[in-house]
Amino acid sequence: MKALFTYIAPTLALLLLGSNSVYAVNCQTLVTKAPQNVEIKTAMMGRDKDVRSPYCLVSGVMSQRMGVGSKFYSIQFELRLPNFWQGRFAYQFNGGNDGEVKPALGAVTGLTSSQYAINQGFAVVSSNGGHDALANPEAGLASPVMFGHDPEARRDYGYSAVEKLNPVARTLVESYYESPIKYSYGLGQSNGGRMAMVAATRFPTMFDGLLVGYPGFNLPKAALQHAWDVQALHRVNDDISQALSQRDLDFFSNKMLEQCDTLDGISDDMIFAADACQKVFEPKALVCKSDFDRDCLPLNKIGALMRMHMGPHNSKNQALYTSWPYDAGIRSQNWRMWKIESPISAWSNKPVSVVMGGASLAHIFTTPYTNVSGDVYALENYLLKFDFNKDAPKIYATNSQFKESAMSIMTPPDAAKPRLTQFKQHGGKMIIFHGNSDPVFSVQDTMRWYDFLDFMLEGRAPEFVRLYRVPGMPHGQGGPSADQFDTLQPLIAWVEHRTAPQSIVAATRTENPDITARMAGLTRPLCPYPSYAKYRQGSLQKASSFQCVISK
């Protein structure tokens, strides 16, 4: 009891004073309490619509240096310290190529704003990952990835910015509240999910809980898919935006639903029995048999889709990444934006895979880098000419300048044979979620990682890691999916109360343009892998009518 009182007393005392002035004074003094070689730029009280409690907003800079080409680098960060603090700290791993400081809210896909980490009593930090995305405007669309020419900037992006910033952020948090952090979490999705998985291996005692959303933990391998997709689509049409129309993808998705939707016991436009679907769905059956067929697609279009789902291979038929599951979310706006065409006129409507994907593969994920100019046609041409025999091995290459390969920097050191021994011994817990229709990082790569972990631990992976697949969901919210769900509270309960998560209730959102009319108002359980939700009895609308079962 004495220890508990010691922990809550400082926060409770401030709350009892009832005035934000006490927090304001503490906030302002942080400017003078910066650790060595850290500059606090601002420290002021703030409040906005997404945060329930007033908070101290701190912005700072550290690790300032001159890098390759006399370019300036630094780690810029933002720390939000809410009045309603519960002894929790969250490192927010940001996605994409980093390069800017995202609002430190602890916002994770699936959460409503009231469920953000900062509204659960977390102090939250975020950073730019050690580089400025706007530092090289002369590079055009390649500007955000030019940091890839600097070895230390690559390393900061891959993992070391977290190693440098985390102790600084913790010092500021504990100085502000005059109390120790009780629980430490890492939260991230996409590239941020990759960073969370890297942290579990590189920094196994840094975090008590890790929340991992659709991780690109094999990111350089996944980047090979961009070239693979562009080449597959180019076989259909020189203009890849015309290779597969929205009508084509709708048709493909609907035919898949005809064969797979009811495998989970109910027809609701979502495929929960995903593994069984891969066994029964046969894309080749959709090929037109003659020029007079209408309920079909041409051979070249089906061929492109099958090739894209197969994943990149070299001429020896060796897989260079992984395959992708067939799922109804292929018709989503998100899937099309990443693979086929985007609504961004400045990109000539080229997909994200061409612009961000092509630039990242050329400048960050291969050694030596290829100095592709930052216009969409140069980036597309780079992907079209990418040689999977000669160029793909560059993700593993080193040279005199880059002594670490892109794969060794970006992926967990034990990715091939994961054990997470130290993380587990520390008491760490991890929750992972991944959309079955993710067009950027294949859910099957995440499943394979989990299967390896479970094998290495002789079936004991669920003791500290749980994976949840989300049918229909692409890269983030969207798709024909129940894409609103809270994974943070189950992680908190697991870390702080040792209550292991079971199924997690997910709901459809009316504002999601990809859901059908009959999907409105549905709730469904997300089941821990390898189980899936199967209809049992009761209302077709409610998650409670389903049970988690394992495919036979």
Please state, in angstroms and rounded to a whole number, the distance separating the CA atoms of residues 283 and 262.
18
* Known active-site residue 434: no
Strand, coil or helix: 212: strand
* Known active-site residue 127: no
- Beta strands (DSSP E) in 272-413 are none
Residue 541, classified by CB atoms within 10 Å of its CB into exposed (0-12), middle (13-18) or buried (19+), is middle
* Known active-site residue 190: yes
Residue 3 neighbours by CB distance under 10 Å: 6
Structure tokens at 326: 């067939």
Strand, coil or helix: 374: coil
Please state, in angstroms and rounded to a whole number, the distance separating the CA atoms of residues 172 and 255.
55
- Structural contact between residues 162 and 203, judged by C-beta atoms closer than 8 angstroms: yes
Structure tokens at 13: 């005392």
- Structural contact between residues 503 and 527, judged by C-beta atoms closer than 8 angstroms: yes
Please state, in angstroms and rounded to a whole number, the distance separating the CA atoms of residues 73 and 7.
38
- Structural contact between residues 192 and 216, judged by C-beta atoms closer than 8 angstroms: no
Phi-psi region of 322 (alpha: psi -120 to 50; beta: other; left: phi over 0): beta
Please state, in angstroms and rounded to a whole number, the distance separating the CA atoms of residues 174 and 219.
34
Secondary structure, 3-state, 286-322: HECCCCCCCCCECHHHHHHHHHHHHCCECCCCCECCC
Structure tokens at 538: 């009761």
Which listed residue (475, 483, 503, 514) is catalytic? Answer: 475
Closest-CA residue to 373 (of 134, 138, 69, 147): 138
Please state, in angstroms and rounded to a whole number, the distance separating the CA atoms of residues 414 and 26.
42
Task: Say how far residue 210 (Cα) sits from the centre of its chain.
Answer: 12
Closest-CA residue to 127 (of 91, 154, 153): 91
Which listed residue (132, 264, 438, 454) is catalytic? Answer: 438
Torsional sign, CA 407, 473, 201, 465: negative
- Beta strands (DSSP E) in 182-264 are 183-189, 209-213
Structure tokens at 162: 């977290």
Please state, in angstroms and rounded to a whole number, the distance separating the CA atoms of residues 322 and 464.
25
Which listed residue (126, 190, 342, 481) is catalytic? Answer: 190
Residue 265 neighbours by CB distance under 10 Å: 17
Structure tokens at 455: 């094998």
Phi-psi region of 226 (alpha: psi -120 to 50; beta: other; left: phi over 0): alpha
Task: Give me the active site residues, please.
Answer: 190, 438, 475
